[in-house]
Structure 1
């Protein structure tokens, strides 16, 4: 698989092992032992000297703040390690942008040779396996993204049913003491909520209400809940007008379950972005209201009357990637009507836009569609040079097998069967209690119907679990489908563009210059 390492004494090896976060409950997993055994066998075979072994057990590949990975980087910086070996590329990481950064920039700049055993990647030799590494990293993500969508759909289904799936209920409510996914009024915080609505109804602004609460040293929702503060600032522990405004418009207080107000950017990061109200999941009448509907509507109208109109923003494929070649600043996008009255987006230099009279830079005005088409054609050319279905098919098969192995439903099935058996035993005991006179007829019917209903719900869930098809034919079909979809959408896929392109520059003469994240694409593309 590899050329012989002719000078093993020149290398100080760091063996890196990572166990996926999905398997972190497995304890000291065989996965770690298998990786260690494979890496040590390779080292022994090639007579290499190991400086240290770095193990991140239970850490996601999308998180590069792993403790032992950072320790490895520190040893590289200290020139203690100049060769890194992993079982496969996904052990290094599953974020294709950062994986490319380490492979194509960081390791070469620090004279570190990187070897991935199962993928056949060795940056110390020239091979075709190295050439398609950028696309291998992207393919490595695609199937994982599909799995994350399925998990998100399950959570969304619970939200649509009005079940609370968050960490902490909104201020003024708490979790039900016995029923899961249900909230009840928190009598300790409820008077503060009612008072806030009362002050708003009297005509006080959100800022005035926040000032009054701060003067009276009323604990904020975060302080009341005992939530930890990451970076304390001068306004930590104080009410804000934004917090008051958010509360006054939250339909949770009138008995409606409001969820999906924010969502994670993607499965690789914990950072969340706020959703538009039209995208929230609202289920009416799921719990006891704190505020009556009439008061809530009056307060909302008062808050809306003070709101200012915000400027419109536009979405386009090259957002965040397009820059002025002359001044280096991001280009702005403007909307102009054409002769037919249709909206047309134009790129213009932001520096010129702000300092026109000073003669700073030039306009650079050009249709967004023209620049986007030029970039797409350039990326399509790169894809034609590097991507062949027959080369991507084995990678797709490998990732599908890994994903299917991680999507094991057997544990959930076993847990459901155990619960069903337990409820059946409970029904038998209830019937015996009735016969022995411990339960009267009314209590028997109440308990019997509830337990029977719970068991029926679990049996329905058991019948709905999809058992994955692990047959070779199905795996091959999925792999072909994944490759075809990737090849068809790659040039216009936002993720592919961001992963391949570092920045796009537009010159004064309307020339489009692409700077790729991977140097070999600039040289060979």
Structure 2
């Protein structure tokens, strides 16, 4: 009787799933695409990877956003960095899942993937595309071209109809609102033919403008509202300076509405303002008041930006250890020559939490000095391996301490045979531990993608570069490596939360607790 064993060297397969609108997630599209990929992999003896998944859910392929900023672009980066090996398969429901751009761009994208050594399979017709197929099989090339033409025409027609529909709605704004969307101090009437002021909120808006004309700053206004527990208009927990600033510059306070059209440039959507519609909303303040406030704000903005500014090395990452709110950079002592600090935005707005100032200089110096340590601390995606490494490292430190104690005892007692034997045993044990550490580090490195390791290397290079360092570049690499950095001022530590290994953190000290704030 012949014994069958499963192949261990099966080609790897990766599924790519995409649909254009979030609403499609409520239907059968996602389940259908997943099931088709699993079925094909099983029938053709492929190892379908469940660790690296590539899904652009609610992401359009008409303008190439899935390549420029989406997960298909991430797949291509993994291929180019060799994290995905040549000979692997990419399984897609159909070519229009990859691209709905003009036909030649779609063919170039397909060719780019195949030339990298990846086999593309379209599951709806079981067609297989490789570099050789595209070069020698005219039928497959023609099929790919026709699918690309059809997909692009469908998307272009849909986009044109959508533009025309919105253009008609914009032209008819005098008759009825474009949508129910409106500022927080307004509400749509029951007949849907216009908007009404919410009296208590309208009074808050007027108060914001009055306080500004009286010389109050945006931060002071937000702090006063938080102290008085004035209810927020939206879902926010407290008033922010940024919301006050936005309100003061919002022309809807005088009844104007500016429709926007959406254009896609380089895979990114941008809202382009069109001609403003006067008296679309009921005005909450007079135009004269609006103009006076914005004249004041313009002069203040010029004064505030003329002094320049220093980049924040933890921009977008720093979090408060008490309330987990963002920590922002502030200057103490004026814009020119002032010392920069990190403070909790909740505390800064007077909405609770504890107001503490953390010196930016201490934080930056700690990150620069410990760049190599952070790189060496790259955690494995396998948590068990990481725990083994931590245990082995602690054992190495303990054995090293024991060796120092024995050496000291020999110095005091002379060449005792028992102590010498103990020293020899400890040194042999340390060698074994260090061999284990080296093996674990190698296995951990194997679990890391080339992209993570390359990004970590770029971070170290930027941090260890000669002055003046590119703080913006350091911040960019940190944001790729970490999901957040907790600025734990009670303990004087920075806790880095690794993005590629959720739950794993690395801590470094930036100051002694007595040096907080």
Sort the TM-score into its range (normalised by shorter chain): 0.3 to 0.5
Q: TM-score, normalised to structure 2's length?
A: 0.40
Q: TM-score, normalised to structure 1's length?
A: 0.39
